[in-house]
Amino acid sequence: MIDQAPEREDPRLAKAGEIFAFLRQNPVEANRDPDDLAAQFGVDPMLIDRLLRSKVIADRRVRKPRFSLKKFLKEVGSLIGRAVKAVTVHPYAFLGVTSLLYVITAAFSVASVKVTNNVAAISFDGGLAAVSGVLYLAAQMLCLFVRPRFKYLLAATTLTAVSFGIFLGVVPIPEHLPIGRPLLVVIGAVAGFIGIGFLGTFFVLVGAGIEVGAARGREAHLSRQELLARMFDLEAQLAELPSSPPKSPNPLFRKVRASLFQWSVLVGLVFTTLSLAADNHLRSHPLQSVVRNQALGMESFATLLWLVSTCILAYVAGSLRRGLIVALSLGLGGLVAYAILIPLHRIPGLTLNLAIQRDGGETAFHAALVAVVLYGVFIQRELARLRLEGTPNEASVVAELVDVRHRLAAASVQVYVMAVDVVGSTKMKEGADPFLAEFSFRSSQEWVAEIAAHHGGQVDAMTGDGAIVAFGSAQNALACALDLQSKVGTFNQTKNRLKTPFRYRVSLHAGLVVGELDKVQFTEVIDVAAHVEKLSPIGGFAATLDFLRELSEPPVGVRQGPVMDGKQVYLCEPSAMSSPKG
């Protein structure tokens, strides 16, 4: 053991401790002039200055309030967060209120409606219209981003279509406008539905993707305790769910998927034909209001139905391979329509070459739309799998329960455990300087960890006076135990600052562990090793028969001991210990 530190009875140290305690109990006094404090306690001002710089005093020091930009921004962010949480608690109500407010502000922003060359121009109060439009879009997209669910997207698009329809239904328009009010309402509603649908889909997919990614990250890093709790919860849910027969796919769904190519070509052919018919009417009769109304109405409904049909086909496809077939087949159907109708009707301004280029662009749009739908289907399934959407069903609960049990019951690993304990640790600390005791026991922990690491061991649990170390082989564990007991004298001479020398009991045991040892702290292997350690001779070791069987040669000097936890234990006295062979 090294020389002991002097007893802490120096009057200078006692005075400094008194000042330190005073400043801790009276933080306001730390703002006084150091010279005044030095005069009050009769000490050097430098001592006061050094004490005031102490982290303990500095952290408790009462400072004058100052404006902090960082704190201000933090408060603003917290306020926005609470507001977002509050307005998205009831998404349907929030979407409805914002839509109603937009209709009202848009109606008030109308300045005049003029018709020039048979085209209606609605002029707005630019500032009010711009502000209301931006705020409306921001509120809708914020809600869809924070609560990314397709049911809310459907509500948002429907409410937008209704809002646009109401606005165009009440806004004053000239009676001689070529487009009738009903058709104007329909076109506005369809435009609003499609516009908000595309924009909202982006925010829903981004928000849901972030939510799914975060949930998958949490799922992958569940602790063993959390996995156990999850398993019990799933077992309880499964017990409450009634057993149901397997659900067979919808016959119509199966029929469409089986002939996906034919359906996609048909959809492309039909809607391209409708679009060409409407385009032909518009080009041939640009100034006749009746024909124009019919053509615009046909084109609006054809566009909406075409988008819906494409989304349905993409959903039925269910995979990227079949989705690519849908996109190409839609393009093929459109190309067939162009090839048949253009030569027959001779649509002004539209040649077959232009039609082929147009069909190529439409096919690329089909592919992008199909990819978005398939990604949305994937996100929806992940939300259901992660139990972020919908109610639990038998299939999802059973699948997750199997996964959790598999993660808990990972491949069993044979481990070799050494338990180390300091003899008489409580008496060693009695009457000793607490700082010396803390230093010495921390040094003991570090020393044990160093020796264990030298022999390929890993400390999996460390207590104030002991440790649990895992090894990959029995030979390494035995070598570590012998090395530790043989070098404890050197440790006492170089690191121990207490008057009482450190002495150790060591036990060795082998067994199977399910999962990683550091995450299975209540396994039988650790319990047995901890119990066997109490039988170990001081300065020697105790080993179970399970451990000794794993050695190529048994260590010399061991003798049979008692049985502990159903395991035969062998003891080795310090005088009989020798280095392991091999």
Per-residue pLDDT reduced to its tens digit, 277-322: 776 666 666 544 555 556 666 677 777 788 888 888 888 888 888 8
The DSSP result for 272-335, as a single string, is: HHHHHHHHHHHHH-TT-HHHHHHHHHHHHHHHHHHHHHHHHHHHHH-SHHHHHHHHHHHHHHHH
- Do both 449 and 549 map to the same domain? yes
Bridge partners, 112 (sequence order): 123
Rounded to 5°, angle at Cα 431 from 425 and 437: 50
Residues contacting residue 203 through CB under 8 Å, at least 6 positions apart: 141, 144, 145, 148
- The amino acid that residue 94 corresponds to is F
- Do both 371 and 469 map to the same domain? no
CB-based burial label for 313 (10 Å; 0-12, 13-18, 19+): buried
pLDDT band of 444, cuts 50, 70, 90: very high
- Do both 445 and 357 map to the same domain? no
Q: Does residue 353 form part of some domain?
A: yes
Could you give the CA distance from residue 168 to residue 182 in angstroms, rounded to a whole number? 9
On average, the pLDDT of the chain sits at 80
- The structural domain count of the chain equals 5
- Do both 209 and 270 map to the same domain? no
- Do both 372 and 416 map to the same domain? no
- Block residue for tokens 């801790």: 24
How many residues are present in the chain? 582
User: Which region among 68-82, 194-208, 418-432, 440-454 has the lowest average model confidence (pLDDT)?
Assistant: 68-82
- Do both 231 and 264 map to the same domain? no
Question: Smallest Cα–Cα separation from 519: which of 572, 474, 458?
Answer: 458
Could you give the CA distance from residue 480 to residue 473 in angstroms, rounded to a whole number? 11
Residue 58's pLDDT is what?
63
- Do both 153 and 182 map to the same domain? yes
User: Which region among 116-130, 185-199, 207-221, 536-550 has the lowest average model confidence (pLDDT)?
Assistant: 116-130
| 221 pLDDT more than 70 | yes
| 137 pLDDT more than 80 | yes
> Residue 569: phi, psi to the nearest 5?
-110, 140
- Do both 430 and 568 map to the same domain? yes
DSSP β-ladder status, 567-572 and 558-564: antiparallel
pLDDT band of 581, cuts 50, 70, 90: very low
Question: Smallest Cα–Cα separation from 138: which of 200, 77, 206?
Answer: 200
- Do both 316 and 177 map to the same domain? no
Q: How many of the other CB atoms lie within 10 Å of CB of 171?
A: 16
Tokens of 272: 């391209």
- Do both 426 and 572 map to the same domain? yes
Q: Does residue 430 form part of some domain?
A: yes
Give the CATH number for residue 489: 3.30.70.1230
pLDDT band of 276, cuts 50, 70, 90: confident
Residue 60's pLDDT is what?
56
Question: Smallest Cα–Cα separation from 413: which of 540, 526, 517?
Answer: 517
- Do both 127 and 52 map to the same domain? no
- Using a pLDDT cut of 70, give the percent of the chain over it: 79
Q: Supply the range of the domain harboring residue 191.
A: 87-214
E strand intervals along 117-220:
119-124
- Do both 400 and 380 map to the same domain? no
Is 510:550 a contact under the CB 8 Å cutoff? yes
Residues contacting residue 479 through CB under 8 Å, at least 6 positions apart: 455, 579, 580
Q: Does residue 80 form part of some domain?
A: no
Q: What is the pTM of this model?
A: 0.57
DSSP β-ladder status, 541-544 and 504-514: parallel
Bridge partners, 418 (sequence order): 469, 508
